[in-house]
Amino acid sequence: MPLSEHEQRMLDQIERALYAEDPKFANTVRQTNPSVHYKRWIIRAGAGFITGIVLLLLGLLLSNPDTSMVLPVTISVLGFVLMLASFLMGANAWRKASGGGTEMAAEEPTPKRRKGDKRPGMMNRFEERWRRRQEGDDQ
């Protein structure tokens, strides 16, 4: 949704005031692209996921039926948790980098209600039936 003229003027005024107060910071903010930040997080998540796979496989390779299973199982579990956390972090960064997390949902128009309606839909019908039964109109 584009900004109105008033909002655009206010934004320009705020930008000019910021640039006058701290030109170095304003220049840094103006040149920073948020998608670069999210791409770095995606790369980090990929590296973490690969590290998790390596730890998971290392735990499986170290498992020996003759020895205690605590260390290999711990390594495998840590690898799996790292893989899961990396996947979630990467998916979140991917969503934000593609612009899916910043768009506002379109507002759906609400259905018009009658003046006496307090609740739309099913509850309103139930209350109406109950009222009619109490008055003796409905058998």
Residue whose C-alpha is closest to residue 59's, from 77, 46, 86: 77
At residue 118, the pLDDT reads 57
Predicted TM-score (pTM) of the model is: 0.51
**Contact between residue 96 and residue 102 where contact means Cβ atoms under 8 Å apart:** yes
Ranges 12-21, 56-65, 109-118: which has the least confidence: 109-118
Rounded CA-CA distance 64/55 in Å is: 16
Residue 6: φ, ψ to 5°: -65, -45
Element (H, E) at 116: none
Rounded CA-CA distance 132/79 in Å is: 64
- CA 88 from centroid of its chain's CA atoms: 10
The string of pLDDT tens digits covering residues 19-58 is 888 888 777 776 667 777 888 899 999 999 999 999 999 9
| Average pLDDT of span 115-139 | 73
Give the DSSP letter string of 43-110: HHHHHHHHHHHHHHHHHHHH--TTS-SHHHHHHHHHHHHHHHHHHHHHHHHHHHHTTTTTSPPPPPPP
